[in-house]
């Protein structure tokens, strides 16, 4: 019997690893409404750039980003996201700069 990998899929063109099903980052509004799910760091960055600021701020202030990136093996990204100042007026661009 073959072992099942925790990694669900790798994009052949970009080498980006998708997280296993059920472990996606779920973007929500503060009221709990689900907006979108990210399976990898590229999708995450695209969603951060386009989702309502209220969602980005909610997750940033709750420190939700770092633990998810650590869980999917992106510990350097997790540390950088955890270091972002939360009262910054440039919160969204500060987050996106981590992925440049």
The pLDDT tens digits of the residues spanning 2-27 come to: 333 333 444 444 568 899 999 999 99
Confidence category of residue 99, pLDDT binned at 50, 70, 90: very high
Helix, strand, coil percentages in the chain from 3-state DSSP, rounded to 5: 40, 15, 45
pLDDT (0 to 100) of residue 14: 59
The residues spanned by each domain of the chain are: 25-97
pLDDT (0 to 100) of residue 89: 86
- Is a pLDDT exceeding 90 seen at residue 67? yes
Alpha-carbon distance of 20 to 17, in angstroms, equals 9
pLDDT (0 to 100) of residue 4: 32
Task: Report, as an integer, the average pLDDT of 34-59.
Answer: 96
Q: What are the Cα distances from residue 60, in Å, to 6, 7, 8, 54, 70?
A: 26, 25, 26, 10, 15
């Amino acid at each position: 019997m073959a072992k099942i990998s925790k990694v669900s899929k790798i994009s052949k063109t970009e080498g980006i690893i998708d997280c296993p099903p059920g472990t996606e980052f779920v973007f929500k509004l503060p009221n709990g409404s689900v907006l979108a799910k990210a399976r990898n760091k590229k999708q995450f960055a695209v969603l951060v750039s386009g989702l309502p600021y209220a969602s980005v701020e909610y997750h940033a202030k709750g420190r939700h980003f770092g633990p998810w990136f650590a869980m999917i093996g992106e510990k350097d990204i997790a540390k950088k996201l955890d270091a972002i100042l939360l009262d910054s007026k440039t919160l969204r661009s500060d987050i996106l700069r981590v992925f440049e």
